[in-house]
A = this chain, B = another copy of it.
Amino acid sequence: MKILLTNDDGIYSKGIYAAYEELSKIGDVVVVAPIMEQSAVGHSITISTPLRIYEVNRKDKFFGYGVQGTPADCVKLAFYDILTTKPDIVVSGINHGANLASNVIYSGTVSAATEAALQGAKAFAVSLASVAYDDFSVAAEFTRKFAELFVKKDIKNNIIFNINVPPVKKSEIKGWRYTTQGKSKYLDTFEKRVDPRGNTYFWLTGERITVEHGEDCDDFWVSQGYVSVTPIKYDLTDYDIFNKLRGTEVEI
Protein backbone atom coordinates (compact mmCIF):
# COMPACT_ATOMS: atom_id res chain seq x y z
CA MET A 1 0.00 0.00 0.00
CA LYS A 2 1.32 3.45 -0.91
CA ILE A 3 0.61 6.13 1.66
CA LEU A 4 1.20 9.88 1.58
CA LEU A 5 1.48 11.32 5.09
CA THR A 6 1.22 15.01 5.91
CA ASN A 7 0.05 17.24 8.77
CA ASP A 8 -0.16 20.85 9.97
CA ASP A 9 1.86 20.66 13.20
CA GLY A 10 4.98 20.31 11.07
CA ILE A 11 7.37 17.55 10.02
CA TYR A 12 9.21 17.59 13.37
CA SER A 13 6.07 17.06 15.49
CA LYS A 14 5.41 14.05 17.67
CA GLY A 15 2.04 13.24 16.08
CA ILE A 16 3.32 12.73 12.53
CA TYR A 17 6.08 10.43 13.79
CA ALA A 18 3.58 8.29 15.70
CA ALA A 19 1.44 7.97 12.56
CA TYR A 20 4.54 7.18 10.47
CA GLU A 21 5.62 4.32 12.71
CA GLU A 22 2.20 2.65 12.64
CA LEU A 23 1.53 3.24 8.92
CA SER A 24 4.98 1.85 8.02
CA LYS A 25 3.72 -1.54 9.25
CA ILE A 26 1.18 -1.69 6.42
CA GLY A 27 2.74 0.22 3.54
CA ASP A 28 5.32 2.49 1.98
CA VAL A 29 4.96 5.88 3.58
CA VAL A 30 6.09 9.09 1.88
CA VAL A 31 6.13 12.05 4.28
CA VAL A 32 5.59 15.56 2.86
CA ALA A 33 4.80 18.07 5.60
CA PRO A 34 5.31 21.71 6.54
CA ILE A 35 8.78 22.53 7.83
CA MET A 36 7.17 24.88 10.37
CA GLU A 37 3.99 24.54 12.41
CA GLN A 38 0.97 25.71 10.41
CA SER A 39 -1.89 25.38 12.88
CA ALA A 40 -5.10 27.29 12.10
CA VAL A 41 -4.07 28.07 8.54
CA GLY A 42 -7.29 26.58 7.18
CA HIS A 43 -7.18 25.88 3.47
CA SER A 44 -4.42 28.43 2.76
CA ILE A 45 -2.26 28.04 -0.30
CA THR A 46 0.91 29.94 -1.02
CA ILE A 47 0.76 32.07 -4.16
CA SER A 48 2.81 35.16 -3.25
CA THR A 49 6.07 33.52 -2.19
CA PRO A 50 7.98 30.66 -3.79
CA LEU A 51 7.82 27.17 -2.29
CA ARG A 52 10.90 25.18 -1.34
CA ILE A 53 11.34 21.52 -0.48
CA TYR A 54 13.96 20.23 2.00
CA GLU A 55 14.99 16.68 2.84
CA VAL A 56 14.47 16.06 6.56
CA ASN A 57 16.13 13.51 8.82
CA ARG A 58 14.72 12.29 12.10
CA LYS A 59 16.55 9.88 14.37
CA ASP A 60 19.57 10.10 12.02
CA LYS A 61 17.83 8.77 8.95
CA PHE A 62 15.78 10.12 6.06
CA PHE A 63 12.26 10.82 7.24
CA GLY A 64 10.61 12.88 4.50
CA TYR A 65 10.24 16.17 2.67
CA GLY A 66 9.75 19.43 4.54
CA VAL A 67 7.94 22.19 2.64
CA GLN A 68 8.15 25.88 3.44
CA GLY A 69 4.40 26.25 3.02
CA THR A 70 0.95 25.18 4.19
CA PRO A 71 -0.56 21.68 4.46
CA ALA A 72 -2.48 22.23 1.21
CA ASP A 73 0.77 23.30 -0.49
CA CYS A 74 2.41 20.07 0.71
CA VAL A 75 -0.29 17.91 -0.85
CA LYS A 76 -0.24 19.82 -4.15
CA LEU A 77 3.59 19.62 -4.34
CA ALA A 78 3.59 15.94 -3.38
CA PHE A 79 1.24 15.07 -6.24
CA TYR A 80 3.04 17.35 -8.67
CA ASP A 81 6.70 16.75 -7.92
CA ILE A 82 7.49 14.22 -5.20
CA LEU A 83 5.28 11.12 -5.59
CA THR A 84 6.18 8.79 -8.43
CA THR A 85 2.87 6.91 -8.30
CA LYS A 86 -0.58 7.87 -7.03
CA PRO A 87 -0.96 6.93 -3.36
CA ASP A 88 -3.66 4.47 -2.28
CA ILE A 89 -4.43 6.73 0.63
CA VAL A 90 -3.48 10.13 2.03
CA VAL A 91 -3.33 10.59 5.81
CA SER A 92 -3.10 13.98 7.53
CA GLY A 93 -2.06 14.03 11.17
CA ILE A 94 -1.93 13.12 13.90
CA ASN A 95 -2.88 16.63 14.94
CA HIS A 96 -2.19 17.63 18.53
CA GLY A 97 -5.61 19.02 19.53
CA ALA A 98 -9.24 18.50 18.52
CA ASN A 99 -10.71 19.35 15.12
CA LEU A 100 -14.35 19.11 16.08
CA ALA A 101 -17.58 21.03 15.40
CA SER A 102 -17.22 24.53 13.92
CA ASN A 103 -13.45 24.45 14.49
CA VAL A 104 -13.07 22.17 11.49
CA ILE A 105 -13.14 25.19 9.15
CA TYR A 106 -9.89 26.57 10.66
CA SER A 107 -8.08 23.25 10.43
CA GLY A 108 -4.95 22.86 8.36
CA THR A 109 -5.04 19.12 9.14
CA VAL A 110 -8.47 18.69 7.59
CA SER A 111 -7.66 20.97 4.65
CA ALA A 112 -4.70 18.75 3.68
CA ALA A 113 -7.10 15.80 3.45
CA THR A 114 -9.55 17.94 1.46
CA GLU A 115 -6.79 18.94 -0.95
CA ALA A 116 -5.88 15.26 -1.41
CA ALA A 117 -9.50 14.47 -2.26
CA LEU A 118 -9.46 17.30 -4.82
CA GLN A 119 -6.40 15.54 -6.31
CA GLY A 120 -8.53 12.40 -6.63
CA ALA A 121 -7.26 10.43 -3.63
CA LYS A 122 -8.91 8.71 -0.68
CA ALA A 123 -7.96 10.80 2.33
CA PHE A 124 -8.52 11.24 6.02
CA ALA A 125 -7.44 13.59 8.80
CA VAL A 126 -6.72 12.40 12.36
CA SER A 127 -6.55 14.44 15.54
CA LEU A 128 -5.84 13.63 19.15
CA ALA A 129 -8.62 15.58 20.82
CA SER A 130 -6.62 17.38 23.51
CA VAL A 131 -3.57 19.64 23.53
CA ALA A 132 -2.92 18.67 27.14
CA TYR A 133 -2.55 14.92 26.43
CA ASP A 134 0.45 13.76 24.44
CA ASP A 135 0.31 9.98 24.21
CA PHE A 136 -0.35 9.40 20.50
CA SER A 137 -0.27 5.58 20.66
CA VAL A 138 -4.03 4.96 20.65
CA ALA A 139 -4.61 7.49 17.88
CA ALA A 140 -1.74 6.03 15.84
CA GLU A 141 -3.07 2.49 16.13
CA PHE A 142 -6.53 3.64 15.06
CA THR A 143 -4.94 5.50 12.14
CA ARG A 144 -3.35 2.29 10.88
CA LYS A 145 -6.50 0.20 11.33
CA PHE A 146 -8.75 2.80 9.72
CA ALA A 147 -6.37 3.14 6.77
CA GLU A 148 -6.60 -0.62 6.16
CA LEU A 149 -10.40 -0.52 6.37
CA PHE A 150 -10.76 2.55 4.15
CA VAL A 151 -8.44 1.32 1.39
CA LYS A 152 -10.44 -1.90 1.04
CA LYS A 153 -13.78 -0.11 1.08
CA ASP A 154 -15.50 0.23 -2.28
CA ILE A 155 -16.20 3.92 -1.98
CA LYS A 156 -15.76 6.93 -4.23
CA ASN A 157 -12.33 8.57 -4.13
CA ASN A 158 -13.29 12.11 -3.23
CA ILE A 159 -14.60 11.22 0.22
CA ILE A 160 -12.76 12.71 3.16
CA PHE A 161 -13.04 11.52 6.74
CA ASN A 162 -12.28 13.72 9.72
CA ILE A 163 -11.30 11.56 12.69
CA ASN A 164 -10.94 12.62 16.34
CA VAL A 165 -9.57 10.27 18.99
CA PRO A 166 -10.42 10.84 22.68
CA PRO A 167 -7.40 11.62 24.89
CA VAL A 168 -7.62 8.44 26.97
CA LYS A 169 -5.89 5.08 27.40
CA LYS A 170 -6.75 2.25 25.01
CA SER A 171 -8.74 0.43 27.69
CA GLU A 172 -11.01 3.46 28.05
CA ILE A 173 -11.89 3.75 24.34
CA LYS A 174 -15.46 2.48 23.91
CA GLY A 175 -15.36 2.09 20.11
CA TRP A 176 -15.84 4.32 17.08
CA ARG A 177 -18.81 5.89 15.31
CA TYR A 178 -19.60 7.62 12.03
CA THR A 179 -20.64 11.10 13.12
CA THR A 180 -21.65 14.53 11.80
CA GLN A 181 -19.85 17.85 12.33
CA GLY A 182 -21.16 19.25 15.62
CA LYS A 183 -22.84 22.63 15.99
CA SER A 184 -20.75 23.81 18.94
CA LYS A 185 -19.16 27.20 18.50
CA TYR A 186 -16.31 29.06 20.13
CA LEU A 187 -16.91 32.30 21.90
CA ASP A 188 -13.90 34.34 20.82
CA THR A 189 -12.13 36.59 23.19
CA PHE A 190 -8.98 38.60 22.67
CA GLU A 191 -6.44 39.54 25.26
CA LYS A 192 -5.51 43.18 24.81
CA ARG A 193 -1.92 44.08 25.73
CA VAL A 194 0.44 47.01 25.39
CA ASP A 195 3.94 46.45 24.00
CA PRO A 196 7.13 48.07 25.42
CA ARG A 197 6.70 50.92 22.89
CA GLY A 198 3.20 51.74 24.14
CA ASN A 199 1.31 50.22 21.21
CA THR A 200 -1.77 48.03 21.67
CA TYR A 201 -1.92 44.48 20.33
CA PHE A 202 -4.25 41.51 20.67
CA TRP A 203 -3.89 37.78 21.24
CA LEU A 204 -6.76 35.58 20.11
CA THR A 205 -8.00 33.32 22.88
CA GLY A 206 -11.27 31.40 22.92
CA GLU A 207 -13.63 29.30 24.92
CA ARG A 208 -15.98 26.74 23.46
CA ILE A 209 -19.67 27.13 24.04
CA THR A 210 -21.83 24.20 23.12
CA VAL A 211 -24.81 25.45 21.19
CA GLU A 212 -26.32 22.12 20.29
CA HIS A 213 -25.33 18.59 21.18
CA GLY A 214 -27.17 16.29 18.79
CA GLU A 215 -26.62 12.59 19.25
CA ASP A 216 -24.82 12.20 15.90
CA CYS A 217 -22.32 14.99 16.60
CA ASP A 218 -18.57 14.43 16.60
CA ASP A 219 -17.95 16.31 19.87
CA PHE A 220 -20.70 14.38 21.67
CA TRP A 221 -19.25 10.97 20.76
CA VAL A 222 -15.67 11.99 21.59
CA SER A 223 -16.84 13.21 25.00
CA GLN A 224 -18.38 9.75 25.52
CA GLY A 225 -15.05 7.96 24.86
CA TYR A 226 -15.66 7.06 21.18
CA VAL A 227 -13.49 7.82 18.17
CA SER A 228 -15.55 10.05 15.83
CA VAL A 229 -15.33 9.56 12.06
CA THR A 230 -17.11 12.31 10.11
CA PRO A 231 -17.47 12.15 6.31
CA ILE A 232 -16.93 15.65 4.94
CA LYS A 233 -17.01 17.31 1.54
CA TYR A 234 -15.76 20.45 -0.16
CA ASP A 235 -19.05 21.43 -1.79
CA LEU A 236 -20.15 24.20 0.59
CA THR A 237 -23.54 24.77 -1.08
CA ASP A 238 -26.43 24.95 1.39
CA TYR A 239 -28.83 22.85 -0.72
CA ASP A 240 -31.77 23.31 1.68
CA ILE A 241 -31.59 27.06 1.21
CA PHE A 242 -30.85 26.76 -2.51
CA ASN A 243 -33.92 24.62 -3.07
CA LYS A 244 -36.07 27.09 -1.11
CA LEU A 245 -34.74 30.16 -2.94
CA ARG A 246 -34.24 29.06 -6.55
CA GLY A 247 -36.68 30.74 -8.90
CA THR A 248 -37.48 33.51 -6.39
CA GLU A 249 -35.02 35.99 -7.92
CA VAL A 250 -36.63 39.43 -8.32
CA GLU A 251 -35.19 42.06 -10.63
CA ILE A 252 -32.86 44.42 -8.75
Contact = CB atoms under 8 A, between A and B. Distances in A.
Contacts of A159: 238, 241
A45 B246 contact: no
Given A190-B81, A201-B52, A252-B145, A237 B242 contact: no
Contacts of A160: 238
B146 A252 contact: yes
Copies of this subunit: 2
Interface string A228-245: 011111111111011001
Contacts of A233: 236-238, 241
A62 interface: no
Given A102-B118, A202-B77, A239-B180, A37 B45 contact: no
Interface stretch (A24-32, A84-92, A104-112): A104-112
A221 B113 CA distance: 29
A interface secondary structure, majority: mixed
Contact of A177 (B51, B104, B249): B249
Interface stretch (A13-21, A132-140, A164-172, A181-189): A181-189
Most chain B beta-carbon contacts within 10 A, residue among A39, A79, A203: A203
B181 A43 contact: no
B40 A237 contact: no
B231 A238 contact: yes
Contact of A252 (B73, B80, B149): B149
A234 B233 CA distance: 11
A44 B45 contact: no
Given A180-B237, A236-B104, A40 B47 contact: yes
6 contacts: A50-B202, A52-B199, A180-B235, A232-B238, A233-B236, A233-B241
The 4 closest A-B pairs by CB, nearest first: A42-B43, A231-B241, A42-B42, A50-B201
